[in-house]
Amino acid sequence: MDDDSNPPLMATYKHLFVVDGHPHCLDAAGDRDDNHECALPVIDLALLDKVQSVDIVRAASEWGFFQVTNHGVPQALLRQLHDAQVAVFRRSFQHKVSERLLDFSPESYRWGTPTATCLEQLSWSEAYHIPMAPATGDKQRRTSSFSAVIEDVSTAMSELAQKLAAILTGGLGGDAKADETMHRCTRDTCFLRLNRYPPCAMGSGAAFGLCPHTDSDFLTILHQHDDHVGGLQLLKGGRWVAVKPDPSALIVNVGDLLQAWSNNVYRSVEHRVMANATVERFSVAFFLCPSYDTVIRPRSSSSRHGLYRSFTFGEYRKQIREDVRLTGRKLGLHRFRRLPPSSISS
Ligand SMILES: C=C1C[C@]23C[C@@]1(O)CC[C@H]2[C@@]12CC[C@H](O)[C@@](C)(C(=O)O1)[C@H]2[C@@H]3C(=O)O
Ligand SMILES: O=C(O)CCC(=O)C(=O)O
Ligand SMILES: [Fe+2]
């Protein structure tokens, strides 16, 4: 490994570990139930029938997270992606910031949190956030074996995500409009994110690998490559619980768009990654997203009014970017809540 491959996280963010001249650490200790590992619901997709669909609907509404086995994304392909991902992150930092990864846009490489003003907003990680849409004039995506692997993984994950999204939208009763919205998610409107969490010398749990957030998409498919490096935690019943890594399974989580569309039936649950003092960690996330002009129209039911106003995915992303720029945090769906009728003055 090149010594110069790590982004300069310590040099850039060391000051956030000191507040008023005193060492500062995350207040994760206050909510620390991190030793508590949870067993996410596991759905065996080889047995996909009515019973499994009901289980998926239940897991998405009670947990917002579940795991799938026999998911159809070949294990050998995930291993190939892992090897290529490791090699890409091993290149020198200078190379990563200055070169385009293959033919993807230069902004796809990110590290740390440029907007962070406190430790709580810092993500101790580097990532390639890759739009699946081919760049204009881009005819050479498959010229390297790496881009071919990325294409194959994203095609397989996209098929899986669409299948699960169809089950989840179907699970709320027939609504043609849901189908229409889901059809606006094609592989090319989605994103693949390659994450690497470098060791953090300040100690395990001293920083977030990825600070608490909900995903801004319909559904996320996540693969953790190692069975011995944990770090992912989710908020369950007001407490942070750790997810036990299982590289043979894929983790699925509901994103903000599905929560809004389903009128809070499905839950986009906050999750985070804790940094580790000695070992690095890799993961890959596939985000099922529609085109930016797609309107998310929260369904209303006889029992519940629409909790959110309609918005386009482009509007949602823009608002998040703006909130992060101005406040350091994503405010997410709170911004799009419909005001209760009593609070609207005439
Ligand atoms: C600073 C931030 C960027 C981010 C939202 C956040 O407040 C914290 C987590 C970030 C993250 C990580 C996963 C996804 O890539 C992302 C789109 C998301 O939903 O949360 C990003 C956000 C972003 O890049 O806007
Ligand atoms: O690395 C992980 O386990 C989680 C990644 C994640 O939450 C994300 O990329 O949105
Ligand atoms: Fe996430």
pLDDT digits (tens, 9 = 90+) for 228-276: 888 999 999 999 999 988 989 999 999 999 999 999 999 999 999 999 9
What CATH number should be reported for the domain holding residue 282?
2.60.120.330
Asked if residue 312 belongs to a domain, the reply is: no
Per-residue pLDDT tens over the stretch 24-79:
888 765 555 446 888 899 999 988 776 678 999 999 999 999 999 999 999 999 99
**pLDDT of 143 above 80:** no
Asked if residue 315 belongs to a domain, the reply is: no
Asked if residue 29 belongs to a domain, the reply is: yes
Asked if residue 304 belongs to a domain, the reply is: no
* Domain span including residue 31: 7-292
* Nearest atom of ligand 2 to the alpha carbon of 125: 1
Overall number of domains in the chain: 1
Asked if residue 307 belongs to a domain, the reply is: no
Asked if residue 125 belongs to a domain, the reply is: yes
Nearest ligand to the CA of 116 is: 1
Asked if residue 166 belongs to a domain, the reply is: yes
Instruction: Write the secondary structure of the chain as one string of H (helix), E (strand) and C (coil).
Output: CCHHHCCCHHHHHHHHHEECCEECCCHHHCCCCCCCEECCCEEEHHHCCHHHHHHHHHHHHHCCEEEEECCCCCHHHHHHHHHHHHHHHCCCHHHHHHCCCCCCCHHHEEECCCCCCCHHHCECCEEEEEECCCCCCCCCHHHCHHHHHHHHHHHHHHHHHHHHHHHHHHCCCCCHHHHHHHHCCCHHHCEEEEEEECCCCCCCCCCEEEEEECCCCCEEEEEECCCCCCCEEEEECCEEEEECCCCCCEEEEECHHHHHHCCCCCCCCCEEEECCCCCCEEEEEEEECCCCCCEECCCCCCCCCCCECCEEHHHHHHHHHHHHHHHCCCCHHHHHECCCHHHCCC
Asked if residue 148 belongs to a domain, the reply is: yes
Nearest ligand to the CA of 284 is: 2
Say yes or no: ipTM exceeds 0.85.
Answer: yes
**Residue 287 C-alpha to ligand 3 middle, in angstroms?**
9
Binned at pLDDT 50, 70 and 90, residue 2 comes out as very low
* Nearest atom of ligand 2 to the alpha carbon of 232: 3
